[in-house]
Chains A and B, each alone.
Chain A
Amino acid sequence: MTGSTTPIYRPKPAFDLLRVPGLGRLLRWRWGRLVFQLPLAVVAAVMIYDGLTGPKLAPQNLATVAAWVHYRGLVVLALLLAGNLFCMSCPFTLPRTLARRLSGHGRRWPMALRNKWLAIALFVGLLFLYEALDLWASPWLTAWLIVAYFAAAFVFEALFAESPFCKYLCPIGTFNFVGSTISPLQITSRDTQVCRTCVGKECVNGSAQVLGCGTELFVPQMRSNMDCVLCLDCVRACPHDNVALAARKPLAELTIAAWPRRWDVALLALVFAFTALGNAFGMVPPVYALESALARWLGTTNETLILALIFGVIYVALPVLAGVGAAWLSQRLAGAGSLRVVLARYAPAVVPLGFAVWFAHYWFHFASGALTIIPVLQSFLIDHGVTLLGAKPNWRLGAILPADALFLLEMGSVLIGFIASLAVLRRIADNTHEDGRMATRAMAPWLALLALIAVLAVALFTLPMEMRGMMAG
C-alpha cells in the first residue's frame, strides 16, 4: 500500500532538454519530429527544383548556396552547441517512413555489413565525388545528389526491416555521428532502476503506437551519441517517461571507452580527421601544383585518376597508416593490449581536432557568404513573379564577418580543437595506466599525430584560398 503513494526514486536530474517548458513538450509530442522535418522537406524540394531548372551558376542557385554554404555551416554549429539536430530533422527519412508503410516488413540487414566499413567507403566516396565532379559548382548535380539521397533512403527502407540507411550507409549521418560525439546533449535514461524492471523495453522494441529506435540503440546502455539520429522515438515509446535528452560533461564520451573496440569504428574517427584536412586541401594552391606534377610524372591527363590518387592517399592511406602506426608505437612503448585495442582506445582523441578543422573550413564559407542566400532567394522569387523581398536582388550582400575575423576564427578553432584533443588523450592515458610515466609514453605517438594534424591545418588555413574548379586546374 505504501508503494503506491511513495514516489519512485529518481536521481537529481541534470539539464534535460525534454523538460524545458514548451520545447520539451513539442519534442516529446508524437508529431514533434515532423514539425522539424517538414520545413526541411520543403527546403529540399525547392533546392531540387531550383537546381534542376534555375541558374547554372552556383552562387546564384539555392541548391548550391543552401547545400554547400548554409547546411554545412549550420550543421557543425548545431553539433557543437546541441547535438545531431540535422538527423533529427532529416527530410530524407520522410519517404523512408512511407516506404516502410508500403512495403511492410523487409529483411534484416546482413550481419557481414553491420559495421562502419560501408559507411566509411560511402563517406570517402562522396567527398571524392565532391572534388572530382566539382559538386560545389554545379546546381544540377547538387539537385540530383539530393534526389539520390531521397531515393536511397526509400529503397533501403523498403527492402530492409531496420533503418540501415541511417546507421550503415548515409555519408551525412556518418559525419554527424562522429561529430555528435563531442556534442553536449545525449539520450539517456532518467532512472536506470526503472529500465531494469521494464518488461517491454519499448524504447528499442517499439509499441503498437510508436516505433522503437530505428538504429536499435537501447537507452539504458547508451554511452555514446554514435548512431543516434535523435529521432526521439525512444522518448515517445517509453511508457515510463524515463528517457532524457540530458546535458553531459564536455568530451566525456571520448574518454570513457564508450565505443566498441573495433577496427572500423577507430578508423572512422581517423578518417573523419584526415578528410577534414583533405577537404580543405582541395581549395588551396598546392593541390593544383600537385595535380600538375602528378600529371607530368604519370604522363596522363586523366584527372579522375590523379584526384583518386591524391585523395585516396589523404582520405584512406594516411589515416590508416598514421592511426595504426601511432597505435603500434604506443603499444611498443607502453603495452596495455593488442594493436586493435590500443588503436580503439586512443582513436577518439583525434575527434575534437578533426571536428575543429571541419568547423574552421565550413565556417570560413558560411561566415564569408551567409548573406548571399538573400539575393539568391530574391532572384528566385522574382523569377516566379513574387517581389515580397524586393523587386531587384541585392547582390552586394555577402559576409557576416570581416576577413580578419575569419582568419582568427580558423586559427582559434584549430587551437581549441588541439587543446581539447590533448585533454582527451591525457585522460585516456591516465585512465589506462596507473604509472604516470607509462601514461606519458603511451600517449607520445598520439601527441605527435595530433601535432602533425594541427600544424597541417594551420598551414592550410594560412594559405590563400582559391575557388577553382578542378577541371580548370
Chain B
Amino acid sequence: MTSKKQLRRSFILLILALGLALTLSACQRASQQIDTGASSGIAMTLAVNPDPATVGQAQVTVTINDASGQPVSGAAVAIKGDMSHAGMMPVLADATEDGAGVYRTDLEWTMAGDWIVTVTATLADGQTVEQQFDLSVAQ
C-alpha cells in the first residue's frame, strides 16, 4: 500500500513538472515580441541578386513602404542572416538608402542551405520594425 502511495506521489510530481514545462512553452519573453510592422502598416520586401541565391557575394535590396504604399525614407536598416543550424556565425550588414524607401547592401552567403534573413529597420520617428524572410542558398 505504501509503495502504491509513494508511486502515486511520484507521478503527481512528474505531472506537475510537465505542467510547468507546458505552461512555460506557452510563454514568450518580452524581448521576443517584435513589431513586424503589422500594427503600423509598414511593409518590407527583400530581393537578392543573384536570384536564386548562391554561395558567394550577393546584393540585398530591402524596400520599405508605409500603410499608404508610400516609400519610407531615412530609416537605418540592419540585416542579419542566420542559417537554420545552430553554431553558424551570422552574416551582418547595414544597408544604405539608394533611392526613396530602397536600401541596399552587399554581403556574402557563406554556406549553402536555408537562411533566415532578419531585417531590422529603425524609422526616422524612432519606431523599430523587424521582419524575417526565408531564403534558400544553393551551392
Contacts and interface: CB of A to CB of B under 8 A. Distances in A.
Contact of A103 (B7, B84, B111): B7
A52 B25 contact: yes
B86 to A, nearest CB: 4
A175 interface: no
Contacts of A61: 86
Interface string A359-386: 0000001101110100000000001000
Contacts of B6: 102-104
Nearest to A60: B82
How many residues of B sit at the interface, in one of the four size bands? Answer: 35 or more
Interface in A445-471: 464-469
Which of B2, B27, B29, B87 has the most chain A CB atoms closer than 10 A to its own CB? B87
Interface in B1-35: 2-3, 6-7, 9-11, 13-14, 17-18, 21, 24-25, 27-29, 31-32
B89 interface: yes
How many residues of A sit at the interface, in one of the four size bands? Answer: 35 or more
A395 B14 contact: no
Given A103-B6, A396-B92, A369 B112 contact: no
A155 B7 CA distance: 10
A53 B29 contact: yes
B21 A52 contact: yes
A467 B24 contact: no
A169 interface: no
A261 interface: no
Given A104-B2, A368-B87, A395-B90, A143 B136 contact: no
A372 B25 contact: no
Contact of A467 (B17, B80, B85): B85
B139 interface: yes
A interface majority secondary structure:
helix
Given A54-B29, A464-B139, A465-B111, A48 B21 contact: yes
A252 interface: no
B85 A59 contact: yes
Interface string B78-114: 0010111111111010000000000000000001111
B26 to A, nearest CB: 9
Nearest to A139: B86
Given A103-B7, A104-B3, A105-B3, A285 B86 contact: no
A397 to B, nearest CB: 7
A159 B6 CA distance: 11
A58 interface: yes
Contacts of B9: 102-103
Given A143-B21, A396-B92, A467-B114, 15 more contacts: A52-B24, A53-B29, A57-B118, A59-B85, A59-B86, A60-B82, A65-B86, A95-B17, A104-B2, A104-B6, A144-B25, A372-B88, A395-B90, A464-B55, A467-B85
23 contacts: A48-B24, A53-B24, A53-B27, A57-B116, A58-B86, A59-B90, A60-B82, A95-B17, A103-B3, A103-B6, A103-B9, A104-B6, A136-B84, A136-B85, A158-B7, A158-B10, A368-B87, A369-B88, A383-B31, A395-B90, A465-B113, A467-B85, A469-B84
Interface of B: 2-3, 6-7, 9-11, 13-14, 17-18, 21, 24-25, 27-29, 31-32, 55, 80, 82-90, 92, 111-114, 116, 118, 134, 136, 139
Interface of A: 48-49, 52-61, 64-65, 67-69, 95, 98-99, 102-106, 134, 136-137, 140, 143-144, 147, 150-151, 154-155, 158-159, 285, 365-366, 368-370, 372, 383, 395-399, 464-469, 472
